[in-house]
Amino acid sequence: MAGKKSRRRSGKSRLRRYTQLRRWAVLILVSLVLGILLYTLYLDRIVQSRFEGQRWAIPAKVYGRPLALYPGLAISREQLQQTLDGLGYSHVSHPDIPGSYSLHKNRFLLRTRVFQFADIARGSDYLEVAIEAGAIKVLKRAGNGDPVGHYRLEPKLIGSLTSAHGEDRILLRRDTVPDPLVSALVAVEDRNFFQHFGIDPVAIGRALWANIRATRVVQGGSTLTQQLVKNFFLTGERTLWRKFNEALMAMILEYRYSKDEILEAYVNEVYLGQSGGKAIHGFALASRFYFNRPLQELDLSRTALLVALVRGPSAYDPRNYPQRAITRRDLVLDLMSAQGIIDQDMATQAKSRGLGIEQGNLQASGTPAFMDLIRRQLRRDYREEDLNAEGLRIFSTLDPWVQRQAEEGLAKQLTSLEKSRHLPKGSLQGALTLAEVETGEVLALVGDRNPRFAGFNRALDALRPVGSLIKPVVYLTALSQPGQYQLMSELEDKPIRIQGANGEIWQPGNYDKQYHGRVRLQEGLIQSHNLATVRLGLDVGLASVIDNLEAMGIHRPLDPYPSLLLGAVSLSPLEMTQMYQTLANGGYSATIKAIREVTDATGKPLSRYPLSIKPAVDTRAVFLLRHAMREVTRSGTAKALQWLLPAGSEVAGKTGTTDKLRDSWFAGFDRQRVGVVWVGRDDNGPMGLSGSAGAMRVWADLMNRIGVIPLDEHMPIGVEMVEVEPVSGLLGEGCDNAQSTPYISGSAPTSGARCARANSLMDEGLQWLQQFLD
């Protein structure tokens, strides 16, 4: 009896424990389910907030200036072809798709691309362009023969302002994603994409079996949705917890959004390469980076290569590992063929092609020196986060073809100078700026002999003594006083000693170590006589010279020391370009600028940077000064331009050299472009190059490449041309050596030279004899 009672108590105890355990199990299960549900809701909130907000920080895109075509435009066949190639146009036998052209002799047929300009949305057009004698002879629509008066090619994408995370991308909408890309992506990465619910058990099982057979990881089972979740929401850590989150968030994503929305996000998010410190995300930017053309223009072979890169952009980098890339691309094509997406002939034909890699617009940072100028000018009007995240479109002033000539020319000339002067290889550095005379728009800017180096920007930040480049301002200041100074005024070129406030004596000398006595004012500039210049500058006053420098765009504080008159002031090449733009533009200053317009990502205009010109200095005095500066290039310190440039190349300019030949400068201009070149060493050591021996060679090479547009002087009101005998400086009409010299009205000499008087008496005698005989 006692045993039965004990067993009953034991049974009841076990039942109570079982009931209690079951209650705990239910409680734990409910808690677990509730926890998973709450965690799922938490992840759902994360997914929605990220996916429905601004998904990506889109850096501002920067475009160069478009090439405007019109009948009569001076352009060579080679320049137009290089421009089209630079835009990524395909050279074909007949252009059937946008972004392609054909060429027969000097006749181009081209199909342009659709482009959203700042002022108009333009469709694709079919054009015929014929070039004859270095200019456009025919510009018409190839379809119906209608003449075209003016046509802008789409501008080249020259770079982007990298986001704070070092990422870059060009956004695609789902309806603009090419079907072959979608087919290839699904075939290789997720063949059941359109059927699964975020995870694919079949693919997971298939990958598990393949990995067991290979005894290593050879295949993954992640879907495109899981890949998107990993890249977009999670880190790359390899843990079971991360994998659990990935699967759960993939299912949430599939529940909340359509397959098209997921696919659109994937093609914009996927990582496909690296350009320096810039990560290349999305297929659209990758197409530009690897092939220099829009994604929509890729053939099957190139499309397959981009899909091949999804597995590992570094491992299959076509620039570093071309054979690996070909093998992986061919595998993509085989998978597409095996799944019936393409036939075997198409796969075979695509595999027979090369990789088709080209120098993309964003390769190696594009034009870092110019992009530096862009960013500095934009900071006046935009916040840094706007430039890095809002997808702004910046339409710049850069001429990509001219920029290429400037980059190649600077590097080539520096190498040539090192070789001819027996200087250490790579010891010379340089900077170059080129701007449009009338507008001040920067056409080209190079800050390093390696134009892709995104380091010290010498064009903007190299503050070096400018030497004789400053002298034209001294002479302009004098010529602005026509009652006292004219081009034929006499100056004294003799020794001078000046005691400074600290008691030190400054005793300048001439470059040739000679004294030239009494010289004409224009001769002092043409031959760059230091002593005559110092005496002239002290006479007109340092304050007046500084005032003119400021009026011409030099806003840096300047100390009024006499050495300023010989260029003992450190300025950048860009600052000197601003100063010389005023001279090249006849005394009218246009602020140097790199931006034309800014729009938002949709093309809505945000900012315009209109032309702003103001009178800066006396236009009459500038005309006289330019007359002397033209003579500098004929018989003065820059006379070597007479054989460095083609015959008839009317240009003006000034050389600049500093003590111990540490800095070589040249500033010059033709009718449309003004350019400044600096050559020197970063350690400020002597290099043995004067302005004419160094920087001028670089400037001349660039002008030869882009073509000189000869100066065509238009005399302003208040200036007259007078025949002057140069020895005496008096009126010289009729003299054998008379020179036509400009004077500000009312300042010309009133008496004639002996030869002029003798000729006048002879003319009067001949007239009297003629009257007598009549």
Q: Please pick, among 287, 468, 480, 572, the residue that the annotation labels catalytic.
A: 468
Determine which helix (DSSP H) or strand (DSSP E) holds 234, and give its type and residue range: none
In this structure, are residues 691 and 467 in contact, taking their beta carbons and an 8 Å threshold?
yes
Joined tokens for residue 760: 């006048």
Question: Residue 673: what are its φ and ψ, rounded to 5°?
Answer: -125, 140
Sequential DSSP letters for 411-425:
HHHHHHHHHHTTPPT
Residue with tokens 């054909």: 102
Burial 533-546 (b: 16+ CB within 10 A, else e): bbbbbeebebebbb
In this structure, are residues 199 and 251 in contact, taking their beta carbons and an 8 Å threshold?
yes
Angle at the Cα of 528 (from 523 to 532), degrees rounded to 5?
70
In this structure, are residues 318 and 325 in contact, taking their beta carbons and an 8 Å threshold?
yes
**Is 189 annotated in the active site?**
yes
Q: How large is the angle between the packed helices 322-338 and 179-189, nearest 10 degrees?
A: 90
Beta strands 393-396 and 100-104 are unpaired
Q: Please pick, among 167, 189, 246, 725, the residue that the annotation labels catalytic.
A: 189
Residue 475: which residues within 8 A CB-CB, separation 6 or more? 521, 524, 525, 533, 536, 625, 628
Is residue 586 classed as helix, strand or coil in its secondary structure?
A: coil
Joined tokens for residue 572: 């950048």
Rounded Cα gap, residues 6 and 457, in angstroms: 96
Residue with tokens 């914009």: 268
Count the neighbouring beta carbons within 10 Å of the beta carbon of residue 673: 23
DSSP character at residue 741 = E
Rounded Cα gap, residues 310 and 545, in angstroms: 63
Rounded Cα gap, residues 189 and 193, in angstroms: 9
Determine which helix (DSSP H) or strand (DSSP E) holds 236, and give its type and residue range: none
Question: Residue 534: what are its φ and ψ, rounded to 5°?
Answer: -65, -45
Residue with tokens 């945000």: 606
Residue with tokens 């998107």: 228
**Is 264 annotated in the active site?**
no
Strands (DSSP E) along 133-290, which ranges?
135-141, 151-152, 157-160, 167-168, 271-275, 278-281
Sequential DSSP letters for 90-147:
EE-SS--SSSEEEEETTEEEEEPPPEE-SS-EE---EEEEEEETTEEEEEEETTT--B
* Cα dihedral sign, 247-253-259-260: negative
Determine which helix (DSSP H) or strand (DSSP E) holds 396, and give its type and residue range: strand 393-396
Per 3-state DSSP, the chain is made up of helix, strand and coil in percentages (nearest 5) of: 45, 20, 40
Sequential DSSP letters for 256-273:
HS-HHHHHHHHHHH-EEE
Question: Residue 90: what are its φ and ψ, rounded to 5°?
Answer: -90, 130
Closest by CA position to 586, among listed 543, 628, 633, 618: 618
Q: How large is the angle between the packed helices 224-232 and 259-269, nearest 10 degrees?
A: 50
Q: Which amino acid is at 503?
A: G
Joined tokens for residue 724: 């002057």
Is residue 360 classed as helix, strand or coil in its secondary structure?
A: coil
Joined tokens for residue 706: 């882009």
Residue 41: which residues within 8 A CB-CB, separation 6 or more? none
Angle at the Cα of 700 (from 698 to 706), degrees rounded to 5?
105
Q: Where in the sequence numbering do the catalytic residues fall? A: 189, 468
